[in-house]
Amino acid sequence: MLGSYDSYSEALFAACRKIFTKPRASAGRRPPKTALLEEQEAFHLRWRAATEYCAWMYYTPDNKYEISLLTDQATPEPTGKAKHCILPSFVEDRRYPPESIQYIVVLHNHTFDNRISEDDVLYLVGQGNQHGFEPKTKDPERRLALVAFFSNGHENPTCDGFYAYTPYTGRFLKWTRNGKQWSCTQTHVVKWLSSDSLSAPTIKEEKARCPTVGAL
């Protein structure tokens, strides 16, 4: 395991820092469409070589937030237009009975600053159906979530921001860092085809302020 932490935020940022120490974890900032062709091509080459890493944040009977080992196993993508890290549905931690582990966050990096995808949403809902959407922790506002970290650099990437999604709220929240200060904005919301079907998520851009309580 990658570490044991007393708080959710401590575990979250430790995971982000660890991911961006891994090889090719970031392709850097995507250039605007008006950028020179050479800049566009350089980014595309970096993106094709980049790797998604993923892990679970989970909660133990010791009241600790734990980060599982990272995996970079990827789903085959014949079109080459997406990257998807395969995260096992269950954590193997022999210190605790399997039923005592509370699954908190699906953690992964995006190789540049792009929002959470429809496939990410469907994966998280599937995990919620297995593990539950309201884990029992010392923090009563915790809900099952998915987090996608990103960095604006590619040579020495740092944790510059992340997107977070919880089915409980249906919101995409984007957190960005300016120096030591973090700020948050809502960027999108998830809509479903019908109230009794969770098979067709629609992601709509809908900007708003982040909630002041339980943002993640």
Kindly state the DSSP code that residue 85 receives in the 8-state scheme.
B
Helix (H) / strand (E) element for 94: namely none
**Residue carrying structure tokens 């929240």:** 173
Residue 39 belongs to some domain of the structure: yes
Total Cβ atoms within 10 A of residue 135: 19
Angle CA(55)–CA(151)–CA(19) in degrees, nearest 5?
A: 25
Per-residue pLDDT tens digits for 50-95 = 999 999 999 999 999 999 999 998 876 665 677 889 999 999 999 9
Q: Tens digit of pLDDT for each residue in 5-29?
A: 999 999 999 999 999 999 999 999 9
Q: What is the pLDDT of residue 129?
A: 94
Tally: H helices and E strands in the chain: 3, 9
Confidence band of 174 (pLDDT split at 50, 70, 90): very high
63 within 8 A of 88, measured Cβ to Cβ: no
26 and 20 in contact (C-beta within 8 Å)?
Answer: yes
pLDDT at 192: 87
| pLDDT recorded at residue 200 | 77
Range of the domain at 162: 3-209
Look at residue 50 and tell me if it is in a domain.
yes
Cβ-count burial of 26 within 10 angstroms (0-12 exposed, 13-18 middle, 19+ buried)?
Answer: buried
Residue 216 lies in a domain: no
Residue 140 lies in a domain: yes
Residue 118 lies in a domain: yes
3-state secondary structure of 103: strand
- pLDDT, residue 112, reads 96
SS3 30: coil
Indicate if the pLDDT at residue 45 is higher than 60: yes
pLDDT tens-place string over residues 95-141: 999 999 999 999 999 999 999 999 999 999 999 999 999 999 999 88
If pLDDT is split at 50, 70 and 90, which confidence band does 211 have?
confident
Instruction: Please state the domain count of the chain.
Output: 1
| Residue 215, in any domain of the structure | no
**Residue 204 belongs to a domain:** yes
- 203 bridge partner residues: 190
In a domain, 214, yes or no: no
Cβ(31)–Cβ(15) below 8 Å: no
Give the bridge partners for 3, in sequence order. 67
